[in-house]
Every structure is written in structure tokens, then in C-alpha cells.
Chain A
């Protein structure tokens, strides 16, 4: 069984709560809040103002430059505000608020159930359509997909890798998508292959989803798709971009600023491939996504096809409400998700799931002293030494941190997960990494100024 070369941990996957629940369509929200910055890069620029009428799928905010993404209205209705609002993390962010009136779609969007396979567009036209549809990586990183598909000069794409690993415990939205929307996904892969001009396409799926693997293989065989499915060992962070590339191609992406394309690989999430299909073949922008709402104590965990901008509290309500007592609500999975302070904040393009923890699981474990057990070192998939990094961070030894390759950290959380002393390893690693990256940027700016 293929896997990545170093480190990794085995948290219990907790998929059983929601992996048998078919995708259901969540009823439309009455009011949505659409953040202008819900992707990596510059926030989009609002194209509507208070009082404007919008249709479902209408462009409401335009990409600001290349490294940005368009945003479309997920419902039809009236814009009631374009203003600062509190997001899930408690920070104020520019959002467009729309009050729903019916659900009237833009006329050019094909809403029929028919699956359209033929695509006679060329690479540039496909990428342009993906850019127009505002598609970003839906696995959580929200990197604009058209940027990923625009290969820089001097690089050549050899592999298209579709990330169906879903190594985060609890989350099942990609799993259900691969099971229920396999053919659309595979057409999306065909389109992405064409956009990149690559021959080789591999879908990586962790081996705890045998039904998804079987389903994809069946469709590939019956419909003669040219793509292979690689079952991967269940090991976190198998779905980390660099880990996945290494598991499938044996190639390791060098530390930043190197990108996956420098080893000839482009990675797209499985749900993103479906979104690409819809954008290119059906003219449908990215206005809805599957969100897993799950947790051990929830009455009814679900996988819900949710319009962007829907308040997360509405999903929680659909799952039977929050459990009694003190809880932790996390936007994303337990290893990399972000804790929420405001559950009325909206679902965005990168939100693959909401996980809820209660009781003891909602809290961190007690902190003791480091016993140098080396578990963090053997858990780190990037070959770093977290125990050393936190000491250097605490002592503000930034040069030494840079020499320890702190910028190579992918913030997967394996170190802190495995620490028997319960140390807040990743907190300090993040602090050190951000500081060192700031220093590197400042140095680059100073060098540029000298020239």
C-alpha cells in the first residue's frame, strides 16, 4: 500500500458517524453572508451595492488581480448590506449580505440532471471558465484553481493528482461525493487533464473508503475513462499536498518557495473536480458545496449540500443542535480545522465540514514538561524537530529556526497530537514560522530596494 515517506500519525478516523449518510440538500437559507475574502490571495471586489437585485449564480464580487477569485450569489434576492461583519474566528471581515426571494437562477446555468461528457474547449478556454466560476481548492486550502492550472514558464505538468484522500478524521464530504457523483468527478478529471495537457491522472483515496474506490473503478471501466485510482494507506496527513505527491509519484517537493509544479505535479481536490465539471459543462459557478456536520455527541450527523453563505448554526440545527454543556465547534476537521467563536458565521468555499466536540474532548490535555521522548520528531511528516523548534521560538532564535527549515512546516498537527506531555507544540511552531516568514519577506523587500 502506497504512503508518504516519513512521519505521520494514526488518529482514530471517526468516519462512521457520517460516512453512510447520503448527501441531502439543505433547505435554502433566508439570509446569506458572503465574505469577500474566502480564498488565498486578494479579497474579491464587490460588484453590487445595497438594494441591488441578484439572481442565483450572478457575479457579485470580482477577482482582484490574478491571485484572487470571483464570487457569485448563492441565492436570488436583494442585497441588504455590503459591510464589515464578524466571521467564525471573531474577526471583522467585509461581507455581502443578501436576503432571499425565491430561487431564480441565471438563465445560462444548465440545471438539468443530464451528465455532459464531451468538451471541445481548448486549454485556455477551460481555464477561463474555471476562473469565471470562482473555483478554489475545496479541500480547505482555497487556492484559486485557475492559478494552479496556469503553469509557470519553465515548468511542465506531468501528473494530475486528484485528492480524494480525506485524511482528516470525521470528514466525509469528499467520500460521499466520490460515491454519489463519481461520473461528474471523472468528467471533471478529463477536463482538468485537457486544461493541463497531461496524460497521467491519478486519484488518491485512503483505503478506509473501499466503496468509493470500487465505485470510481467501476465507472472508469464501464465508461472508459483514462485515469487510475491509487488506494493509499490510512495514515495522517496522507492528503497533505506534498505527502500525496510523494506517495503517488515518489517525488518530494522541496521547501518553499518551491511548488508542486516543480516536481511536475498538480493536485486538485475531489470536490473541486466536480465543481470544475459543473463550471465548464454546466456554466454553474461555485455557489454550493457538500459540508459534513458531525461529532460523537450529535444526534444526527449529516452530509449536506449547502449554499455558500448559509449560517453554520443552521447546519448544527439540522444535526439536532449542540450537545449540552461546554463544546468546541470547529470549522474543518480535528487536525487542522479552525475553532469557531461565532456559529452564525457563513459556510464558505473551503468549508468541507464542521466538527463538534464536547466534554473533555473539547479541551486540551494538561501540559507537563518535555521528556524528550522524540515522538514529535518521528511523527513529523516533514522531517523537522518540533521539540527543538519550540525552544528556539521561545528564545527568539529566528536565524537558527530558518536553518532548521521551519518554513517547510505544513502545520498538520502531528507533533502536538503525539506529544505525551501535552505541549502546545504547534502554537509555538506557527509563531516561529510566521515570524521567520516575515523576516524572509522583509529581507527580500530590502534586497529588491537595493537594486
Chain B
């Protein structure tokens, strides 16, 4: 017999999921949001996304090649994903060089410095975004007007959160349906709650993510908003305020795509819920009482820093150690 025998210990079969297939699924899940954004803001959206993706991949390739050495890691698509997520956190009319700087910070500083995929303590795309927000506040917070309608009739101005914070609009005037479908100014990828939810459902179906983090983030934001509304007047606010906060700013993008980043989120279901509630509460505190109108990025980065601690102290339910039915 001319057969050669492979010998390796069990298991001898492997699930079809790989790092690359997971990243590809997340990218597919982002497509609806990209499409809506392109309709709302035009072809500029594709330009910004392309620049972010190309620069992120190129930087990872160059660092791996010349600084770290070893096999290239770009084929696992994680740099592509970071590029898309970074782009989704930018206005569509941002100059190209700011995108490149953001990519250098995201991949070069936040990811490769720590050893590449799997080793970074903070979400790379968010580090890139927060760096740009602090370094280029003007470019990062002026958004073009959406091409189709707006969240307040005949209103041309800032994002819902910024307008509310500046008391330029009243919560009662806001068209929540417009906010749900993407007719509001904001970062490219955050405006269309509907499309982001569709992506989230796709990822749940493909078992890329579990429900724990998105539900904990959005649920705690809604509960927080409800309680605040109850203390400040009640009435219509009781449902309008939670709905507004779930649809405004980066709530959906953050809860579904940024907070669920594998590397920087906890490992156990219980840990994920603690982490998600932390993000929701910090976001609401910043939104309501902080200096910035939006706090999702800061909240996720803050909770990223707590993740190792959560992993250390929050353990899974152990088989055979819980009370037994007799």
C-alpha cells in the first residue's frame, strides 16, 4: 500500500468557521449599512471606505513585513474590517490624509504595537476614531446634510445628539422613523439603525456573535433613558427618550459591531453582560451630562480596559458544581 498515514490526536474534524470566514461574515453584515450610507451621502462614502481599507491593509502588511517579520496576516481580513469600521466612524467629506492618519493610529499603534490580531487591548478602529476626534475636532464633527429629508423637518444642522445637547431642537419634534432609516447627519456607518440591525441579525444567524453584548448595551441604554425620563417629566418622554437614544449617534454601530469585537470583549456570557451594561451606562452618562454629545466610543474603550479584569473574576457556569435537583 502506498498510502501515507496522517497521525494527530482527536478531534479529527473541524468546524467550517475560520478567522477569515468570521471576518468575511462581519464584512457582509456591514454591507447594508454601507449601501444606505451611499444613498444618503453619495459616492463619497465609497471613496472614504476604500481609502481606509487600503491604508489599513497596507500598514499592517508593511509592519508585518519590515518590523515584526513572519508570514503576512492580511489574508485573515481583520485589517480590512478595521478599515471599514474606521471609515464608518468618519464623516463622508473628510480629507483623505486624515483617513490615512487614522489608519496609522488604528493599525500601527492600537493593533500591531501589541503584536497584531488577538493581542490588542483596545478596539483598533475606535482608537483611530478617538485620536482623530481629539486631533481634528472640526473635521470630525461637521457632517454633510443627508440627501433625503432629515430627522427634524426643514432642519439643517448638527447630529441629533449635538443638536439636542445645544438645545437647537426639542425631543418632541424629532421624527424617529427618519432616524431609523438613516435620514440624519452623522458618521457614515452609524446613521441607518435599520441596516445595522439587519447586519446584526445576519451575524447572530451565522453564529458570529451572541446576543449578550448588543442586548446588554442597548437594553441598559434604554432602561437608563427611561429612568431619566421618568424623573424629568414622564409622559411622552418615557418612550421617546429611550427610542431617541437607541437610534441616535453610534448606539447601534457601537453595540452591534464595535463592542462585539472578539479580541477586546469578555469571554463568558455573564462577563459579556457586565461589559455591555457598563458600555450602555457610561454612554448615557456622557451623553446626558458629559462635555461631548456622544459617548459610545469612550464607553467601549473604557470597558475594553476592564475586560481582562472581567475575564479574571467572571467564570462560566461550571458543570457539576451548581446545586443539583434531587
Contact = CB atoms under 8 A, between A and B. Distances in A.
Contact of A254 (B12, B15, B320): B320
Given A370-B118, A383-B319, A420-B17, 19 more contacts: A246-B319, A327-B5, A330-B10, A334-B11, A341-B5, A364-B8, A371-B262, A372-B118, A372-B262, A374-B268, A374-B272, A383-B318, A384-B318, A385-B316, A417-B14, A417-B15, A420-B15, A421-B19, A421-B118
Given A335-B11, A335-B13, A426-B11, A252 B5 contact: no
B210 interface: yes
B51 interface: no
A169 B18 CA distance: 21
B267 interface: yes
B317 to A, nearest CB: 5
Interface in A390-441: 405, 408, 411, 413, 416-422, 426-427, 430
A219 interface: no
Contact of B318 (A263, A343, A405): A405
Contacts of B76: 368
A368 B19 contact: yes
B7 A374 contact: no
Interface of B: 1, 3-15, 17-19, 21-22, 73, 76, 78, 116-119, 210, 262-263, 265-269, 272, 311, 315-322, 324-326
A202 B116 CA distance: 52
A363 interface: yes
B61 to A, nearest CB: 16
B135 to A, nearest CB: 29
Interface in A318-363: 322, 325-330, 332, 334-341, 343, 355, 357, 361-363
Nearest to B325: A250
A421 B316 CA distance: 21
Nearest to A236: B11
Given A251-B325, A255-B321, A383-B317, A372 B117 contact: no
A242 interface: yes
A369 to B, nearest CB: 4
A422 B14 contact: yes
Interface in A138-188: 169
B77 to A, nearest CB: 12
B88 to A, nearest CB: 20
Given A252-B319, A263-B324, A371-B19, A377 B268 contact: yes
A339 B9 contact: yes
For A169, A355, A375, A381, the residue with the greatest tally of chain B CB atoms inside 10 Å of its CB is A375
A258 interface: yes
A380 B316 contact: yes
Query: Ordered nearest first, which 6 A-B pairs have the shortest CB separation?
Result: A413-B11, A383-B318, A369-B118, A334-B13, A373-B262, A328-B6
A102 interface: no
B263 A328 contact: no
A357 B14 CA distance: 12
A352 B315 CA distance: 36
Nearest to B267: A374
Contacts of A420: 15, 17-19, 21-22
B60 to A, nearest CB: 13
Given A365-B18, A374-B262, A254 B321 contact: yes
Contacts of A330: 10, 12
A335 B15 CA distance: 11
At the interface, is chain B mostly helix, strand, loop or mixed? loop
A339 B268 contact: no
A369 B15 contact: no
Contact of B12 (A325, A328, A381): A328
Interface stretch (A4-12, A18-26, A36-44, A47-55): A4-12
A169 B262 contact: no
A293 B320 CA distance: 35
Contacts of A357: 6, 12-13
Contacts of A418: 15, 17
A375 B269 CA distance: 11
A339 B7 CA distance: 6
A133 B15 CA distance: 41
Contacts of B316: 6, 377, 380, 383-385
For A253, A332, A361, A369, the residue with the greatest tally of chain B CB atoms inside 10 Å of its CB is A369
A385 B9 contact: no
Nearest to B317: A383
Contacts of A337: 10, 12
Contacts of A382: 318-320
Contacts of A327: 3-6
A401 to B, nearest CB: 14
Nearest to B262: A373
8 contacts: A252-B320, A332-B10, A334-B13, A374-B267, A374-B272, A378-B269, A383-B321, A420-B22
A371 to B, nearest CB: 5
A263 B262 CA distance: 38
Contacts of B265: 372, 374
Contacts of A17: none
Given A322-B3, A341-B5, A385-B267, A334 B315 contact: no
A5 B324 CA distance: 12
A325 B6 CA distance: 11
Nearest to A329: B5
B211 to A, nearest CB: 12
B18 A338 contact: no
Contact of B319 (A5, A339, A378): A5
A277 interface: no
Nearest to A313: B1
Contacts of B315: 385
Contact of B14 (A336, A355, A365, A381): A365
